[in-house]
Amino acid sequence: MTCRSVITMGSLYASAYDDNLPANPSRPQSNPGEMPETTSAQNGEASISKMNGKLRIIFSVMGVLFFVVTWAVIGVQFHWISRLDNQNIVSAPTCSMNVGHDSDYVTLFASGSLDFQTEAKSAKLDGKNSWCGRTEEEDWMEIKFVGPRRVAGIVTQGNPQQPFWTTSYHVACLTEERAYKEYAEKGKKHDFTGNTDQNGKVFNIFSEPMTCQAIRITPLRSNSFPCLRVDLLHEGCYAPINLTYVVTSKGWHDDTADCSIKVNGIEKAARGRGFCVVSFDPTTLGYNAATFDTHGDPAGQSAHMASFLDGLQSNSIVAIAVMDEATANAKVVSDRVAAQLKDLGADEDPSCNIRDLGYRDSYAFIGQKVDARSDRPDWISCQHVEASAGHAVVKATITTKRRFVIP
């Protein structure tokens, strides 16, 4: 319904009113060129005509008001229905702090920029440009809050206009004591993994949320120039995380003895002879790394490994790699360990039976503790390579929803 149609309806109402008026049969007809004689009847008809004009205006205004009120009600109803639909679709609160999109919430600034188009204000996630510094390790950008905020992670993108992005960076938190505290893991300043292209989003989750007045990001390495689009994640929410696990086992005869368990390129294994084992909590992304020297102490270390695996929570992800030599005789590995590895999915590949592990063989495995065999994910993988035949490598990319835990 358009405004014109509504006004037309008002006119029709007025016309209908006219049609109900009685005709005036006594109205005189004047000859051309003559001034008609004014009568009391004509004066009365003039008054009626004026009244009809006013009524037309009134009805037209009423029609417009009807149009406005009707569409206002429909608009409110549509907005309300849409809001309910969105609530049904979104099963968890958003993690985004919406950095840069709410000027009352944060301020973006930097030590410098490549040019006026790549100033800090351009560092909005999914924005049309980005912040770009001139040099790594010297230039930085900062996100300053109106008040202290609990920050649980960071998301980055590169520059959408040019092939410029940051490949690694440091994060510092401006504490309530007005001092910058570098983010660290296990007492060591942490190098965050950045981007590998212009528009891909890379999530990095802090081991524990931090209370910060501001977050400072210092690029360490980049592709051409250190450019960033960025958002921060708050605690108490869910975020989809893609994690790539690479498990590598090297026996002694493969040039060097080693084990490696990396997640998104970051080493998590505690290296040592025997079985290198790392368990991951897919909810909090916390992990526990241990080594079990079943070569040096077959019975004792096998028992410790069994206890470690027994203590895993449901849905824990487990990565195992042999370094150097796990056992000169596979039979010394306890029945408990053999059964536990089967429960984790090692029996998906017949060649990965732990009982078939030979002297200084390479063995790499990634699985998950589930309640039933039917619940096993399709990314479970295992590789067993005999000594001197090369190293064993398995890889799995796992999408999980990380829940930020409030300490």
- Shared-domain flag, residues 255 and 114: no
Per-residue pLDDT, 367:
94
Per-residue pLDDT, 94:
55
Helix (H, G, I), strand (E, B) or coil at 329: coil
Strands 317-324 and 238-251: parallel
Higher per-residue pLDDT: 205 or 117: 117
Per-residue pLDDT, 246:
97
Helix (H, G, I), strand (E, B) or coil at 400: strand
Per-residue pLDDT, 84:
24
Calculate the CA dihedral of residues 125, 126, 127, 131 and round it to 10 degrees.
Answer: 50
188, 211, 235: which is the final residue of a domain?
A: 235
Alpha carbons within 13 A on the beta-carbon side of 38: 3
- Shared-domain flag, residues 72 and 132: no
**pLDDT per residue as tens digits for the range 60-100:** 667 666 655 554 443 433 332 222 222 222 233 456 787 87
Per-residue pLDDT, 58:
72
- Shared-domain flag, residues 203 and 113: yes
Per-residue pLDDT, 69:
52
**pLDDT per residue as tens digits for the range 231-270:** 998 876 656 678 899 999 987 765 678 999 999 899 999 9
d(CA 214, CA 151): 10
Per-residue pLDDT, 6:
39
Q: What's the one-letter identity of residue 208?
A: E
Residue 230 burial (C-beta neighbours within 10 Å; 0-12, 13-18, 19+): buried
User: For the residues of 116-131, what is the DSSP string, one character each?
Assistant: GGGSGGG-BTT-SS-E
d(CA 26, CA 39): 10
What's the mean per-residue pLDDT of the chain? 78
Predicted TM-score (pTM) of the model is 0.47
Q: Is the pLDDT of residue 137 over 80?
A: yes
Q: How many domains does the chain have?
A: 3
Q: Is the pLDDT of residue 308 over 90?
A: yes
Could you tell me if 170 and 191 are in contact, meaning their C-beta atoms sit under 8 angstroms apart? yes
Partner residues linked to 141 by β-bridges = 110, 217
| Structural domain harbouring 64 | 1-20+46-82
Domain membership flag for residue 154: yes
Per-residue pLDDT, 86:
25
Per-residue pLDDT, 255:
67
217, 235, 253: which is the final residue of a domain?
A: 235
- Shared-domain flag, residues 275 and 358: yes
Which CATH number covers residue 160? 2.60.120.260
User: At a CB cut-off of 8 Å and minimum separation 6, what does 316 contact?
Assistant: 279, 280, 281, 282, 368, 369
Residue 348's pLDDT band (cuts 50, 70, 90): confident
pLDDT > 90: what percent of the chain? Answer: 41
Higher per-residue pLDDT: 221 or 58: 221
- Shared-domain flag, residues 360 and 281: yes
- Shared-domain flag, residues 182 and 266: no
Region at 390 (left for phi over 0; alpha for psi -120 to 50; beta for the rest): left
Domain membership flag for residue 78: yes
Structure tokens at 29: 């007809």
- Shared-domain flag, residues 217 and 321: no
